[in-house]
């Protein structure tokens, strides 16, 4: 059976989501093929096993912790540091203990990755990650800029009567809503009653972005259809302030129309195998770029200009214990070299095979490419057959 690095295409293609979320819409819109290849089965792997990048994982752990804390603080109106409310928010967000849990989970995932050669490890301690997250949080957090504390009251109204519940409580949190006609759902951080009408709020860490507004517009549609009343405004609540947009009826109608059209179009695109590619800046670090003919060239070109070691190579001599000879696309001869212990990273290939190397190290002005412990080597063509998705 072929290994992950020899498989040319998924063994079972992913199908369109039965129920879309705002993030799945954004991901598929970004590149349908990437979404599809990442979620397809590859031999024994139910999804494409993305190679863990320790620096990216550490960034993700910090980002997730900040997001949880931003949400918990936001629900309390961004209380002052050290206050009882702030401590309650940190406890609810599992801010401090979350670093140990996340690192343990990632170490297990990295150990399971099917790549041959030495296993990856996160080297940064939970304490160090916590310190970085606290520093970032302190830089951004402005106490008192939140939407205010909700004092929820016991409600005895029917579960489904959202509008009445909102009036009784003043606000509802963590609302999971589904559109009655479209396959679209979302979990809204908070909906509250204001003097102007209903406000839909989402809590965010990080910087304002148009994507946040898009997501809130879609959530406004969900509330409108679930509760029967149009929100008057949408708000992205950040650690240091808020961005608010008034909503017109036309805008809510237009958002719903675009939502329906987008879901139909994207679902149709995901029926294609492979789905349409959107080559661009996202290809450079795309985890499935070695399996995408359309994006590989873009990624390789950028890597070459930055002297990074993504390279497509034609094998000239069979791999030996320390290396082998190849030609690059440019026609230049490139010697692939490695320590004997890393030979397992090179698949068994014959002369004429085409390899796609990710994260090797270029040396000697590109005449040499060194395979390191973190390098991956994909077979792109074996025995004269073209492999990757066109």
In the complex, the residues that contact ligand SF4 under the rule CB under 6 A are 31, 33-34, 277-279, 282-283, 286, 288-289, 292, 294-295
Contact (CB, 8 A) for 93 and 208: no
Which runs of consecutive H residues, i.e. helices, occur in 76-159? 84-92, 97-112, 126-140
The residue assigned the tokens 């900040």 is 66
User: Least Å distance between CB 275 and ligand SF4?
Assistant: 9
DSSP assignment of 158-192, as one string?
Answer: -TT-HHHHHHHHSEEEEEEEE-SSSSBEEEEEEEE
Q: Of the two residues 170 and 282, which places its CB atom closer to ligand SF4 in the complex?
A: 282
Q: Which is nearer to ligand SF4, 283 or 303 (CB)?
A: 283
Nearest residue to ligand SF4 by CB is 295
Is residue 206 within 8 A of residue 190, CB to CB? The reply is no
CB-wise, 79 or 279, nearer to ligand SF4? Answer: 279
List b or e across 126-136, with b for residues whose CB sees 16 or more CB atoms inside 10 angstroms: beebbebbbeb
Closest contact distance (angstroms) between CB of 60 and ligand SF4 is 19
Reduced to 3 states (helix: H, G, I; strand: E, B; else coil), residue 327 is: strand
CA 194 to chain centre: 34
Report in angstroms how near the CB of residue 32 gets to ligand SF4 at its nearest: 8
Name the minimum Å distance from CB 261 to ligand SF4: 22
Distances (CA, A) of 167 to 198, 222, 226: 10, 18, 15
CB of 291 to ligand SF4, least distance (A): 8
Shortest spacing between CB 278 and ligand SF4, in angstroms = 5
> For residue 163, which of 151, 177, 181, 149 has the smallest C-alpha distance?
177
**Residue 168 or 267: which CB sits closer to ligand SF4?**
267
For residue 370, the cross-strand partners are: 337, 361
> Among residues 34 and 204, whose Cβ is nearest to ligand SF4?
34
Residue among 65 and 292 whose Cβ is closer to ligand SF4: 292
């Amino acid at each position: 059976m072929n290994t992950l690095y020899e498989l040319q295409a998924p063994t079972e293609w992913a199908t369109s989501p039965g129920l879309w979320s705002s993030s799945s819409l954004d991901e598929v819109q970004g590149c349908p093929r990437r979404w599809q290849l990442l979620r397809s089965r590859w031999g024994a792997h139910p999804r494409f096993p993305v190679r863990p990048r320790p620096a990216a994982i550490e960034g993700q752990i910090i980002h997730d912790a900040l997001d949880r804390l931003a949400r918990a603080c936001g629900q309390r109106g961004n209380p002052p540091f050290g206050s009882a409310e702030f401590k309650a928010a940190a406890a609810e967000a599992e801010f401090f203990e979350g670093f140990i849990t996340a690192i343990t989970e990632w170490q297990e995932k990295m150990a399971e990755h099917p790549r041959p050669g030495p296993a990856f490890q996160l080297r940064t301690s939970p304490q160090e990650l916590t310190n970085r997250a606290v520093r970032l949080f302190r830089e951004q957090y402005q106490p008192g800029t939140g939407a205010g504390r909700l004092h929820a009251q016991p409600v005895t109204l029917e579960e489904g009567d959202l509008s009445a519940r909102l009036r009784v409580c003043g606000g509802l949190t963590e609302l999971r809503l589904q559109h009655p006609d479209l396959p679209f759902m979302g979990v809204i951080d908070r909906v509250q009653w204001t003097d102007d009408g209903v406000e839909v709020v989402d809590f965010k860490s990080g910087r304002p972005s148009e994507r946040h507004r898009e997501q809130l517009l879609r959530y406004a549609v969900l509330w409108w259809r679930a509760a029967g009343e149009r929100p008057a405004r949408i708000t992205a609540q950040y650690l240091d302030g808020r961005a608010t947009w008034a909503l017109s009826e036309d805008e809510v109608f237009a958002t719903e129309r675009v939502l329906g059209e987008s879901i139909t179009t994207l679902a149709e695109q995901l029926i294609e195998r492979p789905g349409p590619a959107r080559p661009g800046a996202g290809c450079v670090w795309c985890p499935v770029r070695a399996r995408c003919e359309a994006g590989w060239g873009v990624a390789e070109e950028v890597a070459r200009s930055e002297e990074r070691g993504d390279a497509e190579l034609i094998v000239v001599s069979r791999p030996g214990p320390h290396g082998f000879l190849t030609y690059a696309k440019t026609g230049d001869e490139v010697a692939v070299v490695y320590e004997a212990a890393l030979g397992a990273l090179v698949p068994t290939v014959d002369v004429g095979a085409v390899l796609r190397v990710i994260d090797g190290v270029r040396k000697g002005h590109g005449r040499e490419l060194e395979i390191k412990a973190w390098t991956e080597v994909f077979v792109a063509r074996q025995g004269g057959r073209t492999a990757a998705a066109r």
